[in-house]
Amino acid sequence: MEEPPQRFKEALKGFALNPLPGMHRYMPNSGYPETRRFLAQQLSAETGIAFTENHIVMTVGAAGGMNVALKAILDQGDEVIIPSPYFVEYEFYIENHGGVMRLVDTAEDFTLDLAAIEKAITKKTKIVLINSPHNPTGVVYSASALRALADLLRAKNKGRQTPIYLLADEAYKTIVFDDIHLPNVFEIYEPSISVVSYSKSLSIPGERIGYAAINPLYAGAEEVITAMIFTNRTLGFVNAPALMQRLLPLLGTNHVAPSEYQRKRDLLYSALTEYGYAVGKPQGAFYMFPQTPMKDDLVFVSDLQESFHILTVPGRGFGKKGYFRIAYCVDTEVIERSLAGFKKAAKKYGLLR
């Protein structure tokens, strides 16, 4: 991972040297109003939709935000649809709150398969959970794909008391490559919640700071955010870390430049494709998800580790056998040193002569 921006370190030092009176006390469960107002302004500028601090709850990272939203929305036995491959922790988050995970395969290129999603929707479906930019594939869903999903959900919402919510895990929101633009779910579907984290954008995953925002265009926004503020308190973390909340407005739009990760993506992607690996070009986040050159991803990943000293994760850990995930959020030299190993593995398994 990159180091946090210099501005972050300076702002932290500023608070240590000149503490605000009362800055370590309890706060509103939704977080400091100043911080939420700052984020509401950012979201309003991004979307053209009128966000206020009342649409935002500060959370203990994206993990906290996802749990807060799921706890607020799910009743026992409610179903959550997730396009697969997927970030495996969702399964446990959903179980935490009595929900049932329904995995739906994506298309070959890991984009959304709407027909499969439609087939998976039942009376018990409460949420469609998407993650874009995506871990582990690096896919960014296009605006047209999300619009088609929104149309499908609107059609399915007819006659239902509560709509199917779109829960968007945007933990990698700022890490998008080339000229790709991350579509805004709020403009596309009214009953939507975005969960954002600073773990990756500021490279501070240990500090546990993020937020969840409800769409102001959704008629039931107040009811949902009220429930989320309550669950933020009762799930045990009570509120998001105070110091990090204080820091966010001082940072403005400062974040780790995606170009750093893009350079690493380009280095790894061009080498892997040259060696014959079948892999999609990531559009965001910092993962690559190639096919394994032999059937068993567990065997391949352990051979990569033992014979070539390269640490990767088997695809089955994300619900997709026959693939493996590489995290390229490491020093450039680590990627460079791995290339010889990937090349030898390609030769060993017949991708390269």
Residues that bind ligand PLP (CB under 6 A): 61-63, 87, 131, 135, 169, 171, 197, 199, 205, 210
Q: Which residue is nearest to ligand PLP (CB)?
A: 61
- Closer to ligand PLP by Cβ: residue 166 or 346: 166
Give me the least distance between CB of 328 and ligand PLP, in Å please: 14
Half-sphere exposure of 255 toward its Cβ, with a 13 Å CA cutoff? 17
Q: Which is nearer to ligand PLP, 152 or 168 (CB)?
A: 168
Closer residue to ligand PLP, CB minimum distance, 175 or 351: 175
The C-alpha R_g of the chain, in whole angstroms, comes to 21
Nearest approach, Cβ of residue 91 and ligand PLP (Å) = 13
Closer CB to ligand PLP, 131 or 174, in the complex: 131
Return the number of the residue (205 or 322) whose C-beta is nearest ligand PLP: 205
CB atoms within 10 A of CB 138: 27
Minimum distance from residue 234 beta carbon to ligand PLP (Å): 19
Minimal distance, residue 319 CB to ligand PLP, in Å? 13
Tokens for 213, please give them.
């925002």
Comparing CB distances to ligand PLP, the nearer of 63 and 73 is: 63
Three-state SS for 186-233 is HHHCCCEEEEEECCCCCCCHHHCCEEEEECCCCCCHHHHHHHHHHHHH
In whole angstroms, the minimum distance from the beta carbon of 90 to ligand PLP comes to 8
- Nearer to ligand PLP by Cβ, of 202 and 224: the residue is 202
138 and 287 Cβ atoms separated by less than 8 Å: yes
Min dist. Cβ of residue 86 to ligand PLP (A): 8
* Least CB distance to ligand PLP at residue 284 (A): 11
Which CB, 210 or 293, lies closer to ligand PLP? 210
Q: How far is the CB of 309 from ligand PLP (least distance, A)?
A: 23
Q: How far apart are CA 102 and CA 86, in angstroms?
A: 11
- Residues 6+ away with beta carbon under 8 Å from 256: 2, 4, 5, 174, 175, 200, 201, 202, 203
Among 178, 177, 67, CA closest to 133: 177
Evaluate whether 279 touches 323 at the Cβ level (below 8 Å): no
Measured between alpha carbons, how far is residue 109 from residues 92, 150, 172, 289, 291 in Å? 26, 20, 19, 11, 11
Q: What is the dihedral of CA 163, 129, 236, 247, to 10 degrees?
A: -110
